[in-house]
């Protein structure tokens, strides 16, 4: 049985199609992250699952029951929004339990549920306070607590951490991961933060213009992106995308004199494609020395930036840019020509015309 299933979900606003046919099936306990740029339809899809918006076409099934036409409160879901409006005049405890109060759950049961949620979220000592007496991260926990007491089949989160500062975001991210490991609930989580997606998800759906471009584990999304778009969406610094032409199994990067002989596996696939994009993650590049021959490209070093854990080297091949993430103590001089070795197994090749992985 799948915990959540979307079948050809479409959404039109007037003549504009915002969701262009979403199909998706989630097993119980999955943590699905919807990842994509602003306006690609993430919130629209989440709202349709929640019942806050209606699909123009298609079906949503929660726990093998069609919920099309079912009121949000009867869908057995709980949602946490980006702006987690808490009731300012109510205590933390009452805020958390308010949904249950509205459902006429007896006070004793309510208190127990609130205590349990507070314990999980480590806010037991805050239950008597008002929201104005809490930090941003604590308020966020109260909002999650409100969802938690409902013990729903599916949790829906819409960018719940985007109002927090960087440090708090990281802490709450870890908290959410811990929570999911502990409760094993099914979660759909919207974000445009690739790090959140990579760290939290059991699977990521990378969205583009109302469609899912790739649905896969974080490992696959990172290491075998299906398209150039997906490849450029995850990773920091982003993947290098070099224009190149393939002839006789050799990729000639525009602006570079030397060719990159393609590994055998790629050679066959790339046979029919001449104009390609060669994708190389910055961390797949290493400084070449005379001892390590192998695959290499030469580039002129423009900028060297020490971020702390790594040295980010920006260089150029003709008019194309190449970024490398190197160990912090690497010896490299600005203005010089430098050979970089490439891990052949880490080459990504995309058809330039379609953007698809070769």
Interacting residue ranges for ligand ATP, rule: CB under 6 A: 13, 18, 36, 38-44, 192
- Find residue 287's DSSP bridge partners: 340
By CB under 5 A, is residue 95 in contact with Mg ion?
Answer: no
Give min distance, CB of 19 to ligand ATP, in A.
Answer: 8
Measured CA to CA in angstroms, residue 297 lies from 279, 282, 316, 340, 344 at distances of 13, 13, 11, 5, 12
Give min distance, CB of 162 to Mg ion, in A.
Answer: 9
Binding window for Mg ion (CB under 5 A); candidates: 37-45, 89-97, 170-178, 297-305 = 37-45
By CB under 5 A, is residue 194 in contact with Mg ion?
Answer: no
- Given a contact cutoff of 8 angstroms between Cβ atoms, the answer to whether 288 and 258 are in contact is no
Rounded Cα–Cα distance for residues 155 and 144 (Å): 10
Give min distance, CB of 42 to ligand ATP, in A.
Answer: 4
- Given a contact cutoff of 8 angstroms between Cβ atoms, the answer to whether 250 and 331 are in contact is no
Give min distance, CB of 63 to ligand ATP, in A.
Answer: 24
192 binds, among Mg ion, ligand ATP, none (CB under 5 to 8 A by kind): ligand ATP
DSSP helix/strand/coil, 101? helix
194 binds, among Mg ion, ligand ATP, none (CB under 5 to 8 A by kind): none
208 binds, among Mg ion, ligand ATP, none (CB under 5 to 8 A by kind): none
- Given a contact cutoff of 8 angstroms between Cβ atoms, the answer to whether 42 and 204 are in contact is no
44 binds, among ligand ATP, Mg ion, none (CB under 5 to 8 A by kind): ligand ATP
Burial class (CB in 10 A: 0-12, 13-18, 19+), 15: exposed
Cβ partners under 8 Å of residue 19, min gap 6 = 9, 10, 11, 41, 44, 45, 48, 55, 210, 211
> Shortest CA distance to 276 belongs to which of 259, 297, 292, 290?
259
- Given a contact cutoff of 8 angstroms between Cβ atoms, the answer to whether 126 and 92 are in contact is yes
Give min distance, CB of 154 to ligand ATP, in A.
Answer: 18
Looking at the Cβ atoms of 157 and 350, the one nearer to ligand ATP is: 157
By CB under 5 A, is residue 43 in contact with Mg ion?
Answer: yes
38 binds, among ligand ATP, Mg ion, none (CB under 5 to 8 A by kind): ligand ATP
Looking at the Cβ atoms of 43 and 95, the one nearer to ligand ATP is: 43
By CB under 5 A, is residue 18 in contact with Mg ion?
Answer: no
Looking at the Cβ atoms of 230 and 253, the one nearer to ligand ATP is: 230
Looking at the Cβ atoms of 14 and 309, the one nearer to ligand ATP is: 14
Near Mg ion in 202-241, by CB under 5 A:
none
> Shortest CA distance to 266 belongs to which of 340, 342, 348, 343?
348
DSSP helix/strand/coil, 235? coil
DSSP helix/strand/coil, 121? helix
Give min distance, CB of 13 to ligand ATP, in A.
Answer: 3
Give min distance, CB of 42 to Mg ion, in A.
Answer: 5
- Chain positions contacting Mg ion, by CB under 5 A: 43
């Amino acid at each position: 049985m799948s915990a959540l299933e979307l079948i050809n979900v479409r959404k039109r606003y007037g003549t504009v199609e915002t969701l262009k046919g979403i199909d998706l099936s989630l097993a119980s306990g999955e943590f699905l992250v919807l990842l994509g740029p602003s306006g690609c339809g993430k919130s629209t899809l989440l709202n349709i699952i929640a019942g806050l918006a209606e699909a123009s076409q298609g079906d949503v099934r929660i726990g093998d029951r069609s919920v099309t036409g079912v009121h949000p409160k009867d869908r057995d879901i709980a949602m946490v929004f980006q702006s987690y409006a808490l009731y300012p005049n109510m205590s933390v405890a009452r805020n958390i339990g308010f949904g249950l109060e509205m459902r006429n759950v007896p006070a004793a049961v309510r208190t127990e549920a609130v205590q349990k949620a507070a314990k999980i979220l480590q806010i037991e000592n805050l239950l008597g306070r008002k929201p104005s007496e809490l930090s941003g991260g604590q308020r966020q926990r109260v909002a999650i607590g409100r969802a938690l007491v409902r013990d729903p089949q599916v949790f829906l989160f819409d960018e719940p951490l985007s109002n927090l500062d960087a440090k708090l975001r990281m802490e709450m991210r870890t908290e959410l991961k811990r929570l999911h490991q502990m409760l094993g609930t099914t979660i759909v989580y919207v974000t445009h933060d690739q790090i959140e997606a990579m760290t939290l998800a059991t699977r990521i759906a990378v969205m583009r213009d109302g469609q899912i471009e790739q649905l896969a584990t974080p490992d696959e999304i990172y290491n075998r992106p299906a398209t150039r778009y997906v490849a450029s969406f995850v990773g920091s610094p982003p993947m290098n995308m070099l224009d190149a032409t393939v002839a006789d199994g050799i990729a000639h990067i525009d602006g570079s004199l030397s060719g990159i002989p393609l590994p055998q596996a790629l050679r066959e696939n790339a046979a029919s494609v001449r104009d390609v994009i060669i994708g190389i993650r910055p961390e797949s590049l290493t400084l070449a020395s005379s001892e390590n021959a192998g695959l290499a490209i030469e580039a002129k070093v423009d900028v060297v930036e020490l971020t702390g854990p790594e040295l980010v080297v920006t260089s150029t091949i003709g008019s194309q840019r190449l970024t490398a993430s190197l160990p912090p103590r690497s010896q490299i001089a600005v203005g010089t020509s430098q050979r970089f070795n490439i891990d052949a197994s880490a080459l990504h090749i995309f058809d330039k015309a379609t953007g698809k992985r070769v």
